[in-house]
């Protein structure tokens, strides 16, 4: 499932994160690359132990935790601490690769299985040329260049790349999620069901507002459908 989540960061949070990372000392992005991706990776990255990276990471982590669409789409069990990269000048692209199946955080030695790969865009798309995130899936290549503050989530099993940036600079935050529900098809089913339940609840609230004779509480159908969602989650989740 490839999912766009709008406005993960507020305007103020976006400005703060950008200020922090732009003022940091950048390093070669290959420092955190695996054997396959290191051969095709050509960008810059903020070392994760810098104070600026830690502050920016905290802002992003708080924003993710409060965003209902991220929680619904990812069903996160563990999130690898967000990292920050830049594509510009001579360090301007990342060729086809698949992310490592497991990432180990150097500071904590904590393992995270990379069920979901995430990119949070930090640059206005009009401020740079190129730089599309290209994700290969069963429907062909998806070319992604979202607004600053928006997030894309896609399966960690996907071959993907970042096209060369030919003007300006592309700033982004990236990280991985180990989901409570390991398989993408199951997460997609739960996400679709949750969206349907939300829509039905909204309709029932609108009907109840127009009809003062309506009884309290949700309809039996919504209660049963919600029960199906939680029973499937109970069947598939690892916590």
Q: Are residues 174 and 193 in the same domain?
A: no
Are 16 and 67 in the same domain?
yes
Task: Give me the domain span that covers residue 209.
Answer: 185-236
Residue 215: predicted pLDDT: 53
**Contact (Cβ atoms closer than 8 angstroms) between residue 38 and residue 29:** no
Residues 199 and 95 in one domain: no
* 8 Å CB contact between 95 and 134: no
Phi, psi of 168 (to 5 degrees): 75, -160
Residues 189 and 102 placed together within one structural domain of the fold? no
Picking from 137, 164, 179, the residue at the C-terminal end of a domain is 179
Torsion angle of the four alpha carbons 38, 39, 41, 46, in this order, in degrees rounded to the nearest 10:
30
Q: What tens digit of pLDDT does each residue of 130-173 get?
A: 999 999 988 889 999 999 999 999 999 999 999 999 999 999 99
Q: What is each CA distance from 223 to 54, 200, 204, in whole angstroms?
A: 42, 11, 12
Residues 165 and 197 in one domain: no
Contact 161, 107 (CB under 8 A): no
This prediction has a pTM of 0.92
The residues of the chain scoring below 50 in pLDDT are none
DSSP, residue by residue, 185-232: HHHHHHHHHHHHHHHHHHHHHHHHHH-TTPPSS--HHHHHHHHHHHHH
Domain of residue 17, CATH code = 2.60.120.620
The answer to whether residues 171 and 214 belong to one domain is no
């Amino acid at each position: 499932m490839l999912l766009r989540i709008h406005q993960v960061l507020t305007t103020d949070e976006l400005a703060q994160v950008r200020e922090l990372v732009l003022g940091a000392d950048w390093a070669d992005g290959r420092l955190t690359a695996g054997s396959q991706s290191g051969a095709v990776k050509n960008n810059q990255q903020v070392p994760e132990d810098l104070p600026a990276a830690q502050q920016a990471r905290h802002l992003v982590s708080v924003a993710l935790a409060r965003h209902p669409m991220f929680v619904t789409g990812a069903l996160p069990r563990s999130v690898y601490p967000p990292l920050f990269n830049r594509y510009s000048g001579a360090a301007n692209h990342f060729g086809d690769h698949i992310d490592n199946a497991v990432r180990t955080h150097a500071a904590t030695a904590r393992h995270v299985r990379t069920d979901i790969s995430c990119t949070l865009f930090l640059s206005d798309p009009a401020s740079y040329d190129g730089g599309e995130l290209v994700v290969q899936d069963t429907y062909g290549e998806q070319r992604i260049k979202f607004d600053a503050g928006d997030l894309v989530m896609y399966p960690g099993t996907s071959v993907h790349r970042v096209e060369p940036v030919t003007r300006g600079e592309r700033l982004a935050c990236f990280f991985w999620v180990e989901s409570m529900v390991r398989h993408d098809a199951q997460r997609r089913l739960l996400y679709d069901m949750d969206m349907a339940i939300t829509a039905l609840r909204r309709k029932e609230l609108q009907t109840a507002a127009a009809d003062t004779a309506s009884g309290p509480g949700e309809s039996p159908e919504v209660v049963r459908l919600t029960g199906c969602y939680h029973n499937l989650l109970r069947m598939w989740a690892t916590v």
